[in-house]
Structure 1
């Protein structure tokens, strides 16, 4: 393992991710956002080191399994893929993680604009796949269960006391609020909490008076604790809420990596699914785009890159002044 670059926010190692991942002291602390080779899409040695797609997919499974122990219980996982192999890559990701979306990044520019229509025997694919998944394993489940036992159940019992004090039965409360009659039972058991809207309507229904203010404070405190526990996901605008994205390719510039992802796309991923202070792991750092954007957004970043040329380019990029955020463009 070779430490190639380091600053207060970013660490970059040179070497194969299969060799470096087991040596990292990051167990249970990172989110995975990475852009591996596509398999025989680019005219480069790193994209043509496997003779068959099956060999490439076996390798994908190998490094994903090595990366999994490093991920936090609330981690998000993002893996880029070619159109031809997006479904197969999704299947490999699903062995270790729970797949949430198969995003299509649609590109206005590209070879599809130049294809000879008479030569076509199938439809063109002007998009790139991005598999989005979560860890959601026993560590997360046990933590959530412990939180339920600690705070949800006492609050649920308090809710039950309030509706019984007001002369209501659980089933009638559920029906009065427009829900399944069994839902208040689940609240009483502590297996779930009412939503903010359900809580407000329950408070109005029971006319709890001073008790309502106490319950409001307790509810808000517990919701904060719960939000800190679960996987971060924050969508701020409707036009960024679907799994079809429109971003322009990165314009050519000296030192550009052939697979470099645009600033706006990476910002969208990192802001939506990580919190400030989180650590992002990129197993195929290339010219350091993911590391750079993560740092600018107040995250930590750890990168691995085996090619000395791209390590040099990444270190140069990371050592320079950061981007102007006014350049964040591209999604419609």
Structure 2
């Protein structure tokens, strides 16, 4: 089914909810995301980029940040969300989840039950040249630990299969090969993908989940296995539906330290707003044009704006009435500029 129909089918499940459509490619839904996400069918979302309450920061102006009495309460709630994230993500989908440095390791412990943790990105939050943030003016002598001037972004993909890295594609490739009685060595010979380090070749690396094939390599795999599939029993999916997208180049932030400037304080700024260029970096790397991007804690709508810039469709969930309305207005102006 084409993405447009999938997108509209997803949104049709929210008819009883308060929803705004700033344009045909963006939808903002008001409510508790843990309840709302249950209305999204399985495996329809390509990418989740989201910024939940941090809990450790205890900011009263951020909904949910002071809602949990203990870390365990917060982590149990996040684990419920993670279970839903995995359910709605496509098999080759990815997640970027913002969190504080204090909660990072505890969240990773919970997330690793269902997800492969591929990276933890440190966002250094530099200020725009000439602008001194408030923390630069604070009295340093009052500190009793290192000041948390950075934030973390946990980058992860769903776990599937029983291979080394629980890779969905790795498990599928091994299943196809065994079904067609093609050896790993034989597939390596046919595709010519020997690998430079592992003498078993790229095929064994893909099946273990150590790596993912390029588009050209996947075409070779499909061609080789299709030739062996005399009865046509396997319907090989398109590259975009099985291979996890990860597309970076030298113009992008490609290490696990990101230096995107913080959003400068301004009247009406969301207290946890993330810079659009940072979000674009994640979305461009880990999705394809036309994909559906989900943000379960959308705030002022920055993730949706970044998605629109990159020609993706977005679904935003926001519990606060103020930000629900303001983000819809923001996206309306973005769409007028773009289209």
Which band: TM-score by shorter chain?
A: 0.7 to 0.9
The secondary structure found in structure 2 opposite 1:240 is: coil
The yes-or-no answer on 1:144 pairing with 2:184 is no
Residue 5 of structure 1: aligned partner: 20
TM-superposed CA distance for 1:26, in Å, is 5.1
1:52 paired with 2:75, answer no
Instruction: Name the SS of the counterpart of 1:281 in structure 2.
Output: strand
Q: Deviations over 1:26-80 (max 9, x none)?
A: 5343321111011144232612112222211221111111222100111111110
CA distance 1:148–1:273, change in 2 (3 Å): farther
SS at match of 1:124: coil
Q: How does 1:91-110 map to 2 (within 5 A)?
A: 91-109=109-127, 110=133
**1:309-324 pair list within 5 angstroms:** 309-322=322-335
2:84 corresponds in structure 1 to 66
Q: Assess, with a 3 A threshold, how the Cα gap between structure 1 residues 125 and 183 changes in structure 2: closer, same or farther.
A: same
User: Once superposed, which parts of structure 1, at least 4 consecutive aligned residues long, lie more than 6 Å away?
Assistant: 219-226
SS at match of 1:265: helix
In the TM superposition, residue 20 of structure 1 has moved relative to its aligned partner by 0.9
Q: Distance in 1 between matches of 2:190 and 2:29?
A: 58
Once the two structures are superposed, residues 206-238 of structure 1 have per-residue CA deviations (whole angstroms, 9 ceiling, x without a partner) of: xxxxxxxxx9x9479679988542211112018
Distance 1:179 1:25, change over 3 A: closer
Comparing 139-148 with 237-246, greater Cα deviation is found at: 139-148
The answer on whether the counterparts of 2:46 and 2:287 sit within 8 Å (CA) in structure 1 is: no
Paired with 2:280 and 2:176, the residues of 1 have a C-alpha distance of 31
Larger Rg: 1
Structure with the larger helix share: 1
CA distance in 1, matches of 2:207, 2:107: 35
Deviations 1:88-129 (A, max 9, x none): 222222222111111110022444422322222222221011
In the alignment, which of 231, 245, 257 is matched to residue 258 of structure 2?
245
Count of matched residue pairs: 288
For structure 2, the residue ranges without an aligned partner over 5 or more in a row are: 1-15, 128-132, 162-167, 212-216, 226-235
Alpha carbons of structure 1 residues 44 and 225: separation in structure 2 relative to 1, 3 Å = same
2:154 paired residue number: 131
TM-score between the two structures when normalised by the length of structure 2: 0.73
CA RMSD of aligned residues (A): 3.6
For 1:262-320, what per-residue CA distance to the aligned partner results, in whole angstroms no more than 9, with x for missing partners? 01100100001111121111111111110121122111111111111111011101111
Work out which of the residue numbers 100, 107, 132 in structure 2 matches 1:82.
100
Q: Answer yes or no: is 1:264 the counterpart of 2:281.
A: no
CA distance in 2 between counterparts of 1:158 and 1:4 reads: 50
| 1:154 Cα deviation after fit | 8.2
- Segments of structure 1 that go 5 or more residues without pairing to the other structure are 164-173, 196-214, 326-332
Map of 2:295 onto structure 1: 282
The one of 102, 113, 116 equivalent to 2:136 is 113
Report the equivalent of 2:164.
none
Alpha-carbon contact 1:281-1:301 (below 8 Å) kept: yes
Quick one: structure 1 residues 241 and 158, their matched pair in 2 at CA, closer, same or farther if it must change by over 3 Å?
Answer: closer
Q: Give the alignment's TM-score, normalised by structure 1.
A: 0.74
Distance 2:258 2:336 in 1: 22
Is the 1:32–1:280 Cα contact (8 Å) retained in structure 2?
A: yes
* Equivalent runs, 1:206-225 vs 2, <5 Å: 218=220
* Corresponding position of 1:23: 39
CA–CA distance in structure 2, aligned partners of residues 246 and 49 of structure 1: 31
Matched position secondary structure for 1:314: helix
